[in-house]
């Protein structure tokens, strides 16, 4: 069997492509402006190298903050247009405010408007081409699942919205089946005898093996998998793809061989990384507490008018190595919010005051926690600290839950920027998957990513 592989881009390849082409079209637009005789603000050339590098840096940084490189949003024209306008508006503003590195302002100020419009138009034309060409079926990554029918629905559901270009075309049952066997109607099923034919006919680019009992794979399917492997066809294991696409550790699929899934990051023991992290924590804490002091008069007024009662509240949380500590926050709920017992905070919780909603959405309620960071109870980045009551409950239900306590809890974290506020056991499971992913892949680059996404959360007012 000869297989002609289709053209498709991996997630990382598309993100790199977007960034490279964004810079390319912006510089091309500036080059085009150079043909306009009266334009002299910035021209493409070695004499403006620093200014051009600064412009590219601003576009990449603010483009990341304003989600230009979120693949889900990059595939929607209206959202992309909005993000381009916000990004370029911010870029031009910062560019004008750094006159030492950027060019001197031209006498004819209309040139700034030309510069601004060319940046927007250049990016918009390229992103239109991206949506029209790259985001089309010809570039989809076509996947064939191999696994047990009983697990197919959960597998498909988990990956269905992870990547707009990732398409699960069908599945092959890896177990012996009969007329009485359970059938899954939500996805096309191919018989074991049609495995190789389906790959060729459906132009499959990758086979995803999602069998949780490899000994139960029937000989016909196992033989075809070996044949595909010998011919260089791409075959991957489900948990590997799950972690790569969703950036979560799939602990619900982890069994007795759990140690395979938790080769935790060396950064957890890297003295230099820990030193820089602590230095970053101290600097951010001082800045955060300073900002808090400046905002305190306004917060006091808001608390008096719409949040009657004490401004702060102190609560016990579980920290590193399961050691309890007392966290400080701005109060956002009514007094005696738990007079009827401990329960989850949820969306539109009627216990949250009017001013409390503003504090949560803007993340201002977190400012006093900089004190905990300064003390060393917390870090800026890490899993959110939970209350002992919920830790005890969740650790009995969710496997590996206590594992999140091997590092300091954080003011923000991978789970906080990737998912909503946890208000159920299912939400806690999802948050744990993200927390374990962070612990597993912890690095300066991932920390920087979290900081950028946290800024996006604040600027888009998505706090809960």
Q: What is the dihedral of CA 214, 215, 216, 217, to 10 degrees?
A: 60
Q: What is the DSSP letter of 233?
A: -
Element (H, E) at 170: strand 166-173
pLDDT number for residue 126: 96
Residue 272 and residue 368 in contact, taking contact as beta carbons nearer than 8 Å? no
Beta strand residue intervals within 257-396, DSSP E: 312-318, 324-330, 379-381
Percent of the chain predicted with pLDDT > 90: 38
pLDDT number for residue 226: 92
Element (H, E) at 362: helix 354-362
Q: How far is 438 from 295, CA to CA, in rounded Å?
A: 32
Greater confidence, 66 or 424?
66
Class of residue 270 by CB neighbours under 10 A (exposed 0-12, middle 13-18, buried 19+): middle
Helix (H/G/I), strand (E/B), else coil: 283: helix
Q: What is the DSSP letter of 140?
A: -
Q: How far is 428 from 461, CA to CA, in rounded Å?
A: 22
Nearest residue to 329 via CA among 360, 297, 284: 360
Please check the confidence at residue 163 and state whether its pLDDT lies above 80: no
Task: Give mean pLDDT, residues 433-447.
Answer: 91
Going by their DSSP bridges, the two strands 141-147 and 206-210 should be labelled as: parallel
pLDDT number for residue 104: 82
Task: Give mean pLDDT, residues 74-88.
Answer: 92
Both structure tokens of 369: 């926690």
How many C-beta atoms lie closer than 10 Å to residue 47's C-beta? 9
Residue 428 and residue 345 in contact, taking contact as beta carbons nearer than 8 Å? no
Q: How far is 243 from 136, CA to CA, in rounded Å?
A: 25
Give per-residue pLDDT as tens, 224-241: 999 998 888 989 888 888
Please check the confidence at residue 116 and state whether its pLDDT lies above 90: yes
CATH 3.40.50.10700 intervals, the chain: 140-246
Greater confidence, 250 or 410?
410
State the residue for tokens 């399961």.
Answer: 322
Task: Give mean pLDDT, residues 320-345.
Answer: 83
Residues 86-89: contacts with CB under 8 Å, at least 24 apart: 87/59, 87/62, 87/63, 88/59, 88/116, 88/119, 88/120, 88/123, 89/116
Helix (H/G/I), strand (E/B), else coil: 208: strand
Polymer length in residues for the chain: 464
Give per-residue pLDDT as tens, 13-58: 888 999 999 999 999 999 998 887 678 888 888 888 999 999 999 9
247 Rama class: left (phi>0) / alpha (psi -120 to 50) / beta: left
State pTM to two decimals.
Answer: 0.80
Model confidence at 421, in pLDDT bands (50, 70, 90)? low
Both structure tokens of 380: 């800026």
Model confidence at 67, in pLDDT bands (50, 70, 90)? confident
Both structure tokens of 288: 């955060």
Residue 413 and residue 383 in contact, taking contact as beta carbons nearer than 8 Å? yes
Residue 186 and residue 170 in contact, taking contact as beta carbons nearer than 8 Å? no
Q: Please name every residue paired with 317 in a beta bridge, in sequence order, or none if there are none.
A: 325
Greater confidence, 459 or 64?
64
One-letter-per-residue 3-state SS of 70-100: CHHHHCCHHHHHHHHHHHHHHHHHHHHCCCC
Nearest residue to 227 via CA among 201, 248, 197: 197
Model confidence at 291, in pLDDT bands (50, 70, 90)? very high
Q: How far is 141 from 206, CA to CA, in rounded Å?
A: 8
What is each CA distance from 164 to 60, 70, 74, 168, 184, in whole angstroms?
Answer: 22, 11, 10, 11, 23
Q: Helices (DSSP H) in 144-267: which residue ranges? A: 149-159, 195-201, 219-230, 238-246
| CA 315 centroid distance within chain | 29
Q: What is the dihedral of CA 15, 18, 23, 27, to 10 degrees?
A: 170
State the residue for tokens 């006159």.
Answer: 99
Residue 194 and residue 164 in contact, taking contact as beta carbons nearer than 8 Å? no
pLDDT number for residue 41: 84
Task: Give mean pLDDT, residues 247-276.
Answer: 79
Give per-residue pLDDT as tens, 371-409: 999 999 999 999 999 999 999 999 998 888 999 999 999
Instruction: Please state, rounded to an integer, the average pLDDT across all residues of the chain.
Output: 85
Return phi, psi of residue 317, to 5°: -130, 165
Give per-residue pLDDT as tens, 165-209: 788 888 888 877 655 445 666 788 888 888 999 998 988 989 998
Q: How far is 55 from 259, CA to CA, in rounded Å?
A: 45
CATH level 2 (architecture), domain 140-246: 3-Layer(aba) Sandwich (3.40)
């Amino acid at each position: 069997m000869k297989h002609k592989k289709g053209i498709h881009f991996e997630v990382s390849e598309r993100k790199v492509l977007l960034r490279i082409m964004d810079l390319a079209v912006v510089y091309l637009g500036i080059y085009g402006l150079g043909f306009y005789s009266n334009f002299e603000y910035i021209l493409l050339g070695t004499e403006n190298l620093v200014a051009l590098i600064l412009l590219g840096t601003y576009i990449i940084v603010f483009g990341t903050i304003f989600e230009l490189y979120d693949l889900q949003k990059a595939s929607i024209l209206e959202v992309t247009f909005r993000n381009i306008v916000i990004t370029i508006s911010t870029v031009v503003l910062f560019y004008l405010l750094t006159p030492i590195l950027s060019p001197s302002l031209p006498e004819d100020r209309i040139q700034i408007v030309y510069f601004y419009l060319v940046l927007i138009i250049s990016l918009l034309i390229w992103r239109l081409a991206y949506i029209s060409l790259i985001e089309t079926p010809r570039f989809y990554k076509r996947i064939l699942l191999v696994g047990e029918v009983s697990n197919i629905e959960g597998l498909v559901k988990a990956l269905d919205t992870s990547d707009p270009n990732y398409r699960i075309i069908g599945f092959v049952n890896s177990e012996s089946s009969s007329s009485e066997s359970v059938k899954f109607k939500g996805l096309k099923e191919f018989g074991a005898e049609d495995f190789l034919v389906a790959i060729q006919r459906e132009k499959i680019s990758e086979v995803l093996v999602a069998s949780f009992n490899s000994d139960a794979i029937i000989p016909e399917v196992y033989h075809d998998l070996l044949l595909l492997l010998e011919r260089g066809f791409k075959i991957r294991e489900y948990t590997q793809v799950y972690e790569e696409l969703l950036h979560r550790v799939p602990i619900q699929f982890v069994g007795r061989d759990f140690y395979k899934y938790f080769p935790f990051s060396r950064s957890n023991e890297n003295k230099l990384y820990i030193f820089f992290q602590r230095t970053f924590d101290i600097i951010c804490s001082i800045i955060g507490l300073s900002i808090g002091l400046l905002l305190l008069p306004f917060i006091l007024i808001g608390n008096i008018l719409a949040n009657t009662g004490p401004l702060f509240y102190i609560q016990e949380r579980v920290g590193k190595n399961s050691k309890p500590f007392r966290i400080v926050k701005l109060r956002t709920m009514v007094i005696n919010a738990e007079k009827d017992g401990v329960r989850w905070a949820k969306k539109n919780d009627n216990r949250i005051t009017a001013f409390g909603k503003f504090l949560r959405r803007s993340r201002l309620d977190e400012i006093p926690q900089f004190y905990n960071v300064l003390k060393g109870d917390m870090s800026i980045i890490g899993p959110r600290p939970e209350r002992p009551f919920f830790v005890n409950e969740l650790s009995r239900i969710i496997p590996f839950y206590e594992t999140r306590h091997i590092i300091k809890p954080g003011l923000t974290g991978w789970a906080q920027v990737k998912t909503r506020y946890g208000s159920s056991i299912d939400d806690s499971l999802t948050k744990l998957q993200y927390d374990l992913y962070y612990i597993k892949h912890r690095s300066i680059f991932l920390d920087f990513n979290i900081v950028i996404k946290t800024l996006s959360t604040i600027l888009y007012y998505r706090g809960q």
